[in-house]
Chain A
Amino acid sequence: MTKKKTDIKGFFKALPKNIFSGFVVSLIALPLGLGLAMASDAPPISGVIAAVVGGVLVSILGGSHVTISGPGNGLVGVILVAVATLGLNGTYAAIICSGILLTLLGFLRMGKLADFFPSSAIQGMLAAIGLIILGKQFHIMMGNQIQLDGSVDYLLAIPSTVIGAFSYDHSGFTYAAIAGILALGIMIFYPKIRNKYFHLIPAPMWIVLLSIGFSYFYELVLQQPHPVDPAYMIADIPTGAQIISDIPTPDFDLLGSFGFWGSVLAITLIASIESLLSIKAVDQLDPEKRRSNVNRDLKALGLATIGSGFLGGLNVVTVIARSSVNVNNGGSNRSSNFAHATFLVIFILLFSTQLTRIPLPALMAILVYTGYNLASPRNVAKIFRIGKEQLLIFSTTLLVTLFVGLISGILAGVLMTFIIHVIINKDLELFIKNWSKPNVLMFKEKRGGLHYYINVKHYCTFLNFYKLKEKLNAIPESEDVVVDFSLCEFVDHTVMENLSAYQDVFHKRGGHLELIGLDLHGTESEHPFALRRLIPGIPFLTDNLTKRQTRLQDIADDYKLNYEADVKEDTEVLDGFRYFRTKRIEKIYNRLFNKDASFAVFDIHYSEGEFIAKEDVRTTMLHIKFDHQIPEFTLDSEGFLERVYAIAGYNDIPIDNHSDFSKRFYLLGDDPKLVQDYFTDDLVRFFESNTYYHVESDGISLLVFKSQHTAGVKEIKQLLDFGKRLSKIVVREEALQA
């Protein structure tokens, strides 16, 4: 019982944070909800209804912790088709049926469904969805609303729309295009501007606020009508009372038709894949590293979808971008999802008339950006690096999805993958004969320190990965695991990629997952996720040094350090730092380090969030490792990182007799007493008299950095100097205490 009590106490303690992050998420959810609904040819409010119903039901019944639910971008394509063939009320009926199917999937424990799709096929499908969204919304963004037959036609019409934009005969269209392009500009440049206050409001909300501001500017200051053509303004948003009185009646007349069930299946398939993939990705972002109950979440999402369908809303799915904003703003439990729904209700009740002041092109720019991100050429390049065959799978799925449909697309992708696997192995029997065999053996080894040993026989591909996954899921992530592929003739890309994700999870939770027995397997590409074989490290910029790199080489010689320009994939040393708990380290490069690597300066590339909320940061950091223990703490100039660190619920630790230090610096730590003892006059004075750096300790080493951009040569020298003097003081302090 006592455990329960502390849970409730902790819940209320974290509540303010969750309400705040729910608020920030609702700022994104509102424009996205409206936009996604309009992109699907449904009334704009239906997206918000989905977010509200989803937020309420999933937060109460769901099994995940920091996810946000609402209308999903993957569904735009299928719902578009559904509305066109079934009509709006028929679509609501299809949504309700897909909700029932989703709930069933949850009860049948089909959370593993997403594992049966090869990664490249899923990538191809997402890219196709991105192109569908981009193709359709681009024209509206440019003030040229057109009706075409297929999604490919919309894409092909893009150049003519761009050219046509310069010769509109009606200024209302031109202004519409300008509004759209400005909004797209905000979406693109938002992550590049690194200003804390600017980032308090998410990009989509900036678009909404600026649009409403402009509208009032014209109305009140210039006393002119809004320059954008009225046809390009958001259509009537109903008030709260209207929503309730106008609840549509789903039309179940088409229940017997083939097309109806085709739509239901497509919606269910995409909804479940999008939700499952999102849950998996968000679990990795969760600072408390909890494991989500996927099946329970599916049930909740299904129920929410049924409810949303009856109230005239779209499908409810778990959405990655909004969830990652939630995590980054300190959301720690499901109450933030609930808060996000509550704020949406408040917005609609109070400001529904203001929303009609937003130009449609501005809203669609958000979707164009989302669509571009899904289908960005960078993703394609990434897939090509993994292997030519992956690109073939990717493009098959992409093209079939665009030309035929989503279900056919993903099926074509699966089939293509299987055919490629058979051709590579020149052996069909291998796959057919061994499919039903329980080819994964797991046991806890008694010798050599009680670790888990998993051996996989025959082959391991997307077809039977679920068997391996089942075993892996049965191991607590804090344990050591060895996965042996030496008896396995073939391992595909899907498995390699998924295992790499598992490695990350085990790593973050204090365990270790090692793959062995792949040395004898051949491979064509050198990418670590390539099918069949794993090669650590990719050669990177080895002989062609940039100017900065040659200067770094000089500094290295100056300071008697070693210099390595290559990418270092192994970033374990940084995992212990609180700063990286919600961030993903992409790579470390340009390293300057001493002989035993206890003192190292390096450029680092890390990212935070996913999809539209993803921000890439490249900066330079210093890492000093000591021989002795030091207390865990984080030191920064007052206010800067408050927001980021408040998640953990730590308070500023005051240092006696140094009120000035306490005023200027923000000091956090696990154990305030220990930290206070550690910060002696010497150390305090050192920090007071030097430039601000963010200094963080993980108990054995220090991480020092300043800005969120890559340091110049001079800055690196300063950093090196700061680090040398700091490490001297720390070492001296240890000697004194000893």
Chain B
Amino acid sequence: MSDPSFKNIAIGIAFSPTLEANVSEAARLSCMLGAKLLLIHVGKGSPEKIQIIDQFIGNCNQSQLSYELLFKEGEPVEVILQAVQEYRIDLLLLGALKQEKFVKFYLGSIARKITRKATCSVLLITNPSVVRKACKHLVVNGLKDAHTERTIETAFYVAHSLGSNQLTIVEEIDQQKISIKIDDDQSLRKANLLKEKLKRQEESRVRGILSDIPEEQKKAIHIETQAIFGKRGYSIGHYAQIARADLLVMNGPKKSTFLNRFFPHDLEYILKELPTDVLIVR
């Protein structure tokens, strides 16, 4: 079992109105996880800029935080991805944009590209704020996937570090797995029996993963499982939204091709419509 903890956190910053909120979120998170923070700015560095950031970090009263500033010119996606490699970053923070009129969030094109290409875990922040909002409820995917075990471990680690008190593991079961087509009462009954069976299988699998999580991390957390039959990647986001989750933890995508943008799957749905903060574990 690999260590799920994050040692080096990075955030890409721009001098926009949300700068203070973004910096505060990053500083707080780094402190809570006990990690080093790297602030990456694509552009020329200047004493004024450094001063502003120093001041913002000072404002959050995180005295034990060790942080570093990186100024580099170039193509933003390239620069950030390169920095991730160079500084052995294991968690990258990205801010989402808020759609006017509705309370909907979406990722800018740069953030989206980075999310697809990054080799480390990515945390997408939808509503950064200067004052801390408690992260109470985590939703994590329980897909049948080799990577899921690590994702769930990470979720527990984060939940424990942030002092969350509820964690729901959502098992998304693909509709296609129900081979029976519902036509009448009889096929409906059969389909429902099959669903129950699939659900039990999924739950026992997730229980297996749960038993490997150190007791100490599970202690203060209320754990629930929820099986959902629906479109992979989309339904979990929908669920997180309904359940008013504060953080959604998901597996990183295996590979993202050009076609995926037109035939969205798994992660792409989430990137289009961020239901809440999303942590993508790689």
Interface residues of A (CB under 8 A from B): 63, 109, 290-296, 437-439, 441-444, 446, 455, 457, 473-474, 476, 484, 487
Residue in contact with A455 in the complex, picked from B184, B191, B238, CB distance below 8 Å: B238
Judging by beta carbons under 8 Å apart, are B228 and A441 in contact?
A: yes
Min Cβ gap A505→B in Å is 12
User: Residues of B contacting A441 with CB < 8 Å?
Assistant: 228, 230, 235, 238-239, 242
A433 — nearest CB in chain B belongs to which residue?
Answer: B272
Judging by beta carbons under 8 Å apart, are A438 and B234 in contact?
A: yes
Residue in contact with B242 in the complex, picked from A294, A437, A487, CB distance below 8 Å: A487
Judging by beta carbons under 8 Å apart, are A474 and B238 in contact?
A: no
Judging by beta carbons under 8 Å apart, are B192 and A476 in contact?
A: yes
Judging by beta carbons under 8 Å apart, are A438 and B235 in contact?
A: yes
Complex Cα gap A431–B189 (Å): 35
Min Cβ gap B275→A in Å is 10
Min Cβ gap B58→A in Å is 40
Q: Let me know if B229 is at the binding interface, CB within 8 A.
A: yes
User: Residues of B contacting A439 with CB < 8 Å?
Assistant: 238
Judging by beta carbons under 8 Å apart, are B238 and A293 in contact?
A: no
Complex Cα gap A446–B223 (Å): 13
Which of B182, B192, B227, B238: most chain A Cβ within 10 A? B238
Judging by beta carbons under 8 Å apart, are A290 and B184 in contact?
A: yes
Complex Cα gap A441–B224 (Å): 18
A455 — nearest CB in chain B belongs to which residue?
Answer: B242
Complex Cα gap A339–B224 (Å): 56
**Apart from the given pairs A443-B226, A474-B191, 7 other A-B contacts in the complex at a CB distance below 8 Å:** A291-B184, A293-B184, A437-B269, A441-B238, A446-B224, A476-B188, A487-B242
Judging by beta carbons under 8 Å apart, are A291 and B239 in contact?
A: no
- 4 A-B pairs with the lowest CB-CB distances in the bound complex, closest first: A438-B231, A293-B183, A441-B238, A293-B184
User: Residues of B contacting A296 with CB < 8 Å?
Assistant: 183
Judging by beta carbons under 8 Å apart, are A443 and B239 in contact?
A: yes
Judging by beta carbons under 8 Å apart, are A474 and B182 in contact?
A: yes
Contact A437 B234, CB 8 Å, known A443-B239, A446-B226, A455-B242: yes
User: Residues of A contacting B184 with CB < 8 Å?
Assistant: 63, 290-293
Judging by beta carbons under 8 Å apart, are A474 and B188 in contact?
A: yes
List B residues 192-248 near A (Cβ within 8 Å): 192, 224, 226-231, 234-235, 238-239, 241-242
B168 — nearest CB in chain A belongs to which residue?
Answer: A446
Q: Let me know if B133 is at the binding interface, CB within 8 A.
A: no
Min Cβ gap A155→B in Å is 42
Complex Cα gap A422–B159 (Å): 43
Complex Cα gap A654–B189 (Å): 39
Complex Cα gap A45–B192 (Å): 47
Complex Cα gap A439–B235 (Å): 8
Judging by beta carbons under 8 Å apart, are B230 and A442 in contact?
A: yes
Q: Let me know if B181 is at the binding interface, CB within 8 A.
A: yes
Complex Cα gap A240–B234 (Å): 62
Judging by beta carbons under 8 Å apart, are A109 and B181 in contact?
A: yes
Min Cβ gap B110→A in Å is 21
List B residues 160-192 near A (Cβ within 8 Å): 181-185, 187-189, 191-192
Complex Cα gap A290–B238 (Å): 33
User: Residues of A contacting B235 with CB < 8 Å?
Assistant: 438, 441
User: Residues of A contacting B269 with CB < 8 Å?
Assistant: 437
Min Cβ gap B173→A in Å is 10
User: Residues of B contacting A437 with CB < 8 Å?
Assistant: 234, 269
Complex Cα gap A63–B235 (Å): 33
Which of B182, B184, B189, B192: most chain A Cβ within 10 A? B184
Complex Cα gap A296–B181 (Å): 12
Report 28 cross-chain contacts, Cβ distance below 8 Å, ordered by A residue: A63-B183, A109-B181, A291-B188, A292-B184, A293-B183, A293-B187, A295-B183, A296-B183, A437-B269, A439-B238, A441-B230, A441-B238, A442-B228, A442-B229, A443-B227, A443-B228, A443-B229, A444-B227, A446-B224, A446-B226, A455-B242, A457-B238, A457-B241, A473-B182, A473-B188, A476-B188, A476-B192, A487-B241
Complex Cα gap A442–B228 (Å): 7
Complex Cα gap A439–B238 (Å): 8
Min Cβ gap A363→B in Å is 38
User: Residues of A contacting B185 with CB < 8 Å?
Assistant: 290-291
Complex Cα gap A296–B184 (Å): 10
Min Cβ gap B201→A in Å is 16
Judging by beta carbons under 8 Å apart, are B188 and A294 in contact?
A: no
Complex Cα gap A476–B196 (Å): 14
Min Cβ gap B152→A in Å is 19
Residue in contact with A438 in the complex, picked from B182, B183, B226, B230, CB distance below 8 Å: B230
User: Residues of A contacting B228 with CB < 8 Å?
Assistant: 441-443
Complex Cα gap A690–B229 (Å): 59
Judging by beta carbons under 8 Å apart, are A294 and B241 in contact?
A: no
Complex Cα gap A487–B244 (Å): 12
Complex Cα gap A278–B35 (Å): 66
Complex Cα gap A291–B186 (Å): 9
User: Residues of B contacting A457 with CB < 8 Å?
Assistant: 238, 241
B235 — nearest CB in chain A belongs to which residue?
Answer: A441
User: Residues of A contacting B242 with CB < 8 Å?
Assistant: 441, 455, 484, 487
Complex Cα gap A457–B239 (Å): 11
Complex Cα gap A438–B269 (Å): 10
User: Residues of A contacting B239 with CB < 8 Å?
Assistant: 441, 443
Residue in contact with B189 in the complex, picked from A63, A295, A476, CB distance below 8 Å: A476
Complex Cα gap A446–B235 (Å): 17
User: Residues of B contacting A290 with CB < 8 Å?
Assistant: 184-185
Complex Cα gap A290–B235 (Å): 31
Complex Cα gap A474–B231 (Å): 15
Complex Cα gap A296–B182 (Å): 12
Min Cβ gap B23→A in Å is 32
Complex Cα gap A295–B224 (Å): 39
B225 — nearest CB in chain A belongs to which residue?
Answer: A446
B242 — nearest CB in chain A belongs to which residue?
Answer: A455
Min Cβ gap B100→A in Å is 13
User: Residues of A contacting B234 with CB < 8 Å?
Assistant: 437-438
A479 — nearest CB in chain B belongs to which residue?
Answer: B192
Judging by beta carbons under 8 Å apart, are B183 and A294 in contact?
A: yes
User: Residues of B contacting A291 with CB < 8 Å?
Assistant: 183-185, 188
A296 — nearest CB in chain B belongs to which residue?
Answer: B183
A292 — nearest CB in chain B belongs to which residue?
Answer: B184
B229 — nearest CB in chain A belongs to which residue?
Answer: A442
Min Cβ gap A116→B in Å is 19
Complex Cα gap A487–B241 (Å): 9
Complex Cα gap A291–B241 (Å): 34
User: Residues of B contacting A446 with CB < 8 Å?
Assistant: 224, 226
Min Cβ gap A136→B in Å is 39
User: Residues of A contacting B182 with CB < 8 Å?
Assistant: 473-474
Which of B181, B188, B224: most chain A Cβ within 10 A? B188
Complex Cα gap A443–B181 (Å): 18
